[in-house]
């Protein structure tokens, strides 16, 4: 067996809507190794969150999902409900973008942690109470035993996010799916939460998939990155390699549009145009209408994700040109 905990192959998600089908995710494939932090980055609407929620089958009923999601060799999409229930929340846990929406406002935090412990452990009530306090302490919440009896509205934004992390960690998961966990927080709290998550990944030996639109967060926290655009993967590879030598026109344009070190007075280069509509098929490269490196085949021939350098893959017809420009 390989060292991968999770292997996603040709994932497609289509939503049935009154206006017709919406192709939110279109043939995405990636893997997550043991102890690895994988970042998925892209513009809003690129399919990042849908990809993440499709893995544990948390999408609405109008979503049609195809492909494979192998968890330790077992396909999550083919699991029966009882087997999936044991894996979801037990082996695979999730942290959502807005804790005030994800947390139940009428239940104390301790009870919400307790629900996970009841479902995935054999602890008695007293042991579950101790474990709840231990988890809140683990994520840096002071007076943890007292906080168990408080409600989400009594917590600050940063504390609510920490409580969400505590709930996710309750059953000692092997994989953590984090959907933009710091977006709603101020910069100082963002930094604290990200450092906390990295510390927990290292101490508990977990793997993590982190979805974000912030390239800075990816650079600080992830081992590998997968860049998404219009429901497709553009580029994957080791973070430093992708950021220093992007081999996809979209990745390059995205990096050029962001401020970097020593760029206080440097002119940024915005990406022209708008992403394509996902309710209509895109025959060629989805980025072609906004790209400055287009070739004749870009409008009609879809580029496939292929390795252009060690541990670095790109789905761009101009990938070889970009590789030649940057050198070995």
Taking only the tens place, the pLDDT of each residue in 40-98 is 999 888 999 999 999 999 999 999 999 999 999 899 999 999 999 999 989 999 998 77
Average pLDDT over residues 250-269: 78
pLDDT of residue 237: 97
pLDDT, residue 222, reads: 95
Check whether 1 has a pLDDT greater than 50: no
pLDDT of residue 124: 95
Quote the pLDDT of residue 279.
83
Closest-CA residue to 150 (of 138, 158, 160): 160
On the question of pLDDT at 174 being above 70, the answer is yes
3-state secondary structure the chain: CCCEEEEEEEEEEEEEECCEEEEEEEEEEEEEECCCEEEEECCCCCCHHHHHHHCCCCCCCCEEEEEEEEECCEEHHHCCHHHHHHHECCCEEEECCCHHHHCCCCCCHHHHHHHHHHHHCCCCHHHHHHHHHHHHHHCCCCCHHHHCCCCHHHCCHHHHHHHHHHHHHCCCCCEEEEECCCCCCCHHHHHHHHHHHHHHHHHHCCEEEEEECCHHHHHHHCCEEEEEECCEEEEEEEHHHHHHCCCCHHHHHHHHCCCCCCCCCCCCCCCCCCCCCCCCCCCCCCCHHHCCCCCHHHHCCCCCCEEEECCEEECCCCHHHHHHHHCC
Q: What is the pLDDT of residue 62?
A: 95
d(CA 50, CA 30): 15
Query: Does 234 score more than 50 pLDDT?
Result: yes
CA distance 173 to 284: 39
Asked whether residue 268 carries a pLDDT value surpassing 70, the answer given is: yes
The maximal CA–CA distance of the chain, rounded, in angstroms, is: 68
pLDDT at position 83:
94
Specify the CATH number for 4-91+173-260+270-326; select among 3.30.565.10, 3.30.70.520, 3.40.50.9100, 3.40.50.300.
Answer: 3.40.50.300
List every span in the chain annotated with CATH 3.40.50.300.
4-91+173-260+270-326
Could you report the per-residue pLDDT of 158-171, keeping only the tens digit for each? 899 899 999 999 99
Q: What is the pLDDT of residue 231?
A: 94
**In terms of pTM, does the model score above 0.85?**
yes
d(CA 99, CA 95): 8
Stretch 202-231: mean pLDDT, rounded? 93
User: What mean pLDDT comes out for the span 105-115?
Assistant: 96
Q: pLDDT of 206-218, one tens digit each?
A: 999 999 988 988 9
pLDDT higher than 80, residue 262? no
Residue 137 confidence class, pLDDT cut points 50, 70, 90 = very high
**What is the pLDDT of the chain when averaged over all its residues?**
91
């Amino acid at each position: 067996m390989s060292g991968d905990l999770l292997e996603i192959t040709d994932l497609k998600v289509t939503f049935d809507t009154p206006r017709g089908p919406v192709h939110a995710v279109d043939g995405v494939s990636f893997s997550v190794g043991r102890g690895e932090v994988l970042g998925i980055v892209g513009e809003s609407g690129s399919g990042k969150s849908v990809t993440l929620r499709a893995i544990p089958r948390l999408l609405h009923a109008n979503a049609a999902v195809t492909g494979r999601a192998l968890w330790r060799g077992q396909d999550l999409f083919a699991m029966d409900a009882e087997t999936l229930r044991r894996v979801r929340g037990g082996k695979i846990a999730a942290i959502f973008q807005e804790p005030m929406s994800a947390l139940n406002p009428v239940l104390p935090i301790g009870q919400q942690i307790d629900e996970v412990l009841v479902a995935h452990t054999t602890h008695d009530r007293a042991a579950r109470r101790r474990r709840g306090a231990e988890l809140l302490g683990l994520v840096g919440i002071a007076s943890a035993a007292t906080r168990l009896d408080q409600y989400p509205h009594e917590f600050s934004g940063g504390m609510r996010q920490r409580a969400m992390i505590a709930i996710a960690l309750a059953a000692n998961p092997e994989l953590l799916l984090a959907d933009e966990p710091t977006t709603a927080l101020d910069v100082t709290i963002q930094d604290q939460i990200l450092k906390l998550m990295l510390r927990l990944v290292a101490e508990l030996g977990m793997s993590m998939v982190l979805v974000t639109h912030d390239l800075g967060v990816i650079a600080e926290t992830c081992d590998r990155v997968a860049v998404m655009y219009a429901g497709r993967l553009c580029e994957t590879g080791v973070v430093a390699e992708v950021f220093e030598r992007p081999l996809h026109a979209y990745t390059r344009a995205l990096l050029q549009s962001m401020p970097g070190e020593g760029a206080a007075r440097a002119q940024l280069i915005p990406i022209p145009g708008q992403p394509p509509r996902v309710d209509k098929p895109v025959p060629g490269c989805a980025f072609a209408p906004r790209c400055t490196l287009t070739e004749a085949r870009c409008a009609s021939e879809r580029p496939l994700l292929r390795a252009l350098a060690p541990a670095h893959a790109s789905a761009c017809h101009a990938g070889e040109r970009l590789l030649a420009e940057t050198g070995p």
